[in-house]
Amino acid sequence: MTSQRTRNRLVQRLRDSGITSEDVLNVISVTPRHLFVDEALAHRAYEDTALPIGHGQTISQPYTVAKMTETLLAAGPLHRVLEIGTGSGYQTAVLSPLVKTLYSVERIEPLHVRAVERLESLGYDNVRLSLSDGTWGWPQHGPYDGILAAAAPEEVPASLLEQLADGGRMVIPVGGQEQKLILITRNGDHFARKTLESVRFVPFLPGVQR
């Protein structure tokens, strides 16, 4: 169920869906996604689907994680990356070996606590996690040369644009019922936007939930 063969099948599926980055595919083939979901769902962990993680949230679909990671890294190595919406920590685990330092914020306390335990026990030591509302980014550690959001706001929060370094890249789903994944690249005070594809993410919500 969680064997290397099962994982390799997922990787082949991602290739067939258009993921081309060997770095990203390698990381996905060695990341134990079954440890990021409840035991009762572990047998489905290497299907290319989102799965419930409690509190009305989902672990992102592997294709989406791969696509966002590949897009974020497409212009070269990233040193400081901010993730909004740690959730289970799976996207965090995939990004971690591909960047220098990863900062990730989550607004739901029990999810944050579980992600801290998981990522620590699995040895992801370039990751810093915080229980906070990503609307405000994480200004203490910015600017970031990469920002990735796993929840969809109606509009990109101004703080995230401000905390994007010059030349930096942000991958974020935007919209309500109709969501688009967009890539924002910063060039001085100019923010270029490119629409990538239609997506379905949980909403980006304000405040911290304890």
The single residue among 31, 46, 63, 90 that binds ligand SAH, judged by CB under 6 A, is: 90
Give the span between the Cα atoms of 44 and 2, in whole angstroms.
Answer: 9
Q: Which is nearer to ligand SAH, 116 or 205 (CB)?
A: 205
Query: Of these residues, 60, 88, 96, 104, which one is catalytic?
Result: 60
Token digits of residue 154: 């109606």
Binding flag, residue 204, ligand SAH (CB under 6 A): yes
Q: How far is the CB of 10 from ligand SAH (least distance, A)?
A: 14
**Which is nearer to ligand SAH, 35 or 202 (by Cβ)?**
202
141, 82 contact by CB (below 8 A): yes
**Contact by Cβ (8 Å): 176, 155:** no
Residues that contact ligand SAH, how many (by CB under 6 A): 24
Min CB(188)–ligand SAH separation in Å: 27
Quote the radius of gyration of the chain (alpha carbons, Å): 16
Helix (H, G, I), strand (E, B) or coil at 39: helix
Task: Outline where DSSP puts E strands in 85-126.
Answer: 99-106
Nearer to ligand SAH, 49 or 187 (CB): 49
Smallest distance from ligand SAH to CB 133, Å: 5
Of 147-166, binders to ligand SAH (CB under 6 A) are 150-151
CB 138 within 8 A of CB 82: yes
Report d(CA 62, CA 13) in Å as an integer.
Answer: 10
| Whether residue 60 lies in the annotated active site | yes
- List, in sequence order, every beta strand (DSSP E) within 30-98: 51-54, 57-59, 78-84
Q: Which residues bind ligand SAH (CB under 6 A)?
A: 53, 57-60, 84-85, 87-88, 90-91, 105-108, 111, 133-135, 150-151, 202, 204-205
Residues designated as active site: 60
